[in-house]
């Protein structure tokens, strides 16, 4: 296993982050436990979840599964545990968002479901433009002071949100954000314009989600992915990007590597990336993803991938002006 620091912090995390969104809805608890056990065996110490995962209002099904594994395995001190707050967790008008009221309430509920006394990385799942930053930071500071949260991160923030958050945190002499989870993969590279430069400037570790672009980068034209190809939502995307997908899969074939592993290896080579999130449904998918760490793409290979899946042209404003 390879490790790196989480953004500018001294905290060491594995270069791959185990995403648990499938635990419960698609992966039974027994296999979920086996996947987390294997993560420990190979040294993957970074586990990510969210209060809304499981997709049953207010139940936190996935957090409960992770919590039962923590209790059964006794491995709490061996992992960096990340979860999220923002999503709707009840029928009440204040049961969502980033008000101080909801942040404190949601944190206490997550701690209970996760069967732990602290969360290592507490992430805001989405920007909340209706709540002022002094309120958000006051709530987060309280949780840090109480020892219930160690680090704070964000997810689905724009560059301007990162800047505002860090400006207000600095004024309060607070560490502020240490990580950002964003949609980022070979096919979707919008964050290269402004978000990644902001993360690099502020020392914020980037944790890409959907590294395989919903399966488009996972060998979707291959013989083993017939069911996924037939899904209506993906059919349109495949046809829109068929030429690129064909070129990409041919490139991976020449390389002798599975497309999914190459997609992960590409992310691991990108500036600011701490750890892509891998969200396996099965143990075999998890073991396959781990092999991405063995792939080291050359500058020439990275250039070829840029030609197949061109980004926005670099950082703003040079990408569109001068």
Q: Which regions of 156-196 does DSSP assign to beta strands (E)?
A: 177-183
Q: Please say whether the beta carbons of 264 and 321 come within 8 A.
A: no
84 Cβ neighbours under 8 A, 6+ residues apart:
49, 50, 51, 52, 122, 123, 124, 125, 155
Residue 53 annotated to the active site: yes
Nearest partner of 204 among 124, 287, 289, judged by Cα: 124
Neighbours of 55 (CB within 10 A): 12
Measured N-to-C along each axis, helices 242-255 and 259-268 cross at an angle, to the nearest 10 degrees, of 90
Integer Cα distance of 257 and 236 in angstroms: 26
Integer Cα distance of 118 and 143 in angstroms: 9
315 Cβ neighbours under 8 A, 6+ residues apart:
192, 193, 194, 196, 197
Catalytic residue among 3, 53, 202, 320: 53
> Coil, strand or helix: which one is 216?
coil
What's the angle, vertex CA 278, arms to CA 160 and CA 158, rounded to 5?
Answer: 5
> Coil, strand or helix: which one is 206?
strand
How much of the chain is in helix, strand and coil states, percent to nearest 5? 45, 15, 40
Active site residues: 53
């Amino acid at each position: 296993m390879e490790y790196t620091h989480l953004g500018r912090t001294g905290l060491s995390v594995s270069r791959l982050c185990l995403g648990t969104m499938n635990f419960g809805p698609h992966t039974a608890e027994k296999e979920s436990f086996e996947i987390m056990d294997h993560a420990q065996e190979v040294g993957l110490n970074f586990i990510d979840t969210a209060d809304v995962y499981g997709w049953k209002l207010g139940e936190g099904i996935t957090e409960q599964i992770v919590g039962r594994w923590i209790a059964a395995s006794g491995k709490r001190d061996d992992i960096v545990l990340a979860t999220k707050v923002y999503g709707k967790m009840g029928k009440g008008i204040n049961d969502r968002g980033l008000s101080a009221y909801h942040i404190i309430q949601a944190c206490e509920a997550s701690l209970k479901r996760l069967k732990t006394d602290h969360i290592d990385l507490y992430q805001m799942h989405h920007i909340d433009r209706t709540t002022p930053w002094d309120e958000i930071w006051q709530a987060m500071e309280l949780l840090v002071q109480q020892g219930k949260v160690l680090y704070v991160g964000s997810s689905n923030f724009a560059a301007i949100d990162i800047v505002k958050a860090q400006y207000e945190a600095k004024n309060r002499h607070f560490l502020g954000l240490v990580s950002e989870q964003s949609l980022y993969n070979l096919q979707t590279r919008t964050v290269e314009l402004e978000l990644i430069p902001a993360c690099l400037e502020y020392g914020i570790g980037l944790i890409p989600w959907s590294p395989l672009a919903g399966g488009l980068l996972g060998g979707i034209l291959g013989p083993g992915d017939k069911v996924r190809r037939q899904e209506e939502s993906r059919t349109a995307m495949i046809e829109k990007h068929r030429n690129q997908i064909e070129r990409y899969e041919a490139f991976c074939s020449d390389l002798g590597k599975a497309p999914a592993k190459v997609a992960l290896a590409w992310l691991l080579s990108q500036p600011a990336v701490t750890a892509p999130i891998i969200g396996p449904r099965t143990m075999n998918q998890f073991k396959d993803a781990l092999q991405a760490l063995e792939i080291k793409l050359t500058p020439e290979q990275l250039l070829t991938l840029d030609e197949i899946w061109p980004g926005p042209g670099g950082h703003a404003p040079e990408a569109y002006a001068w």
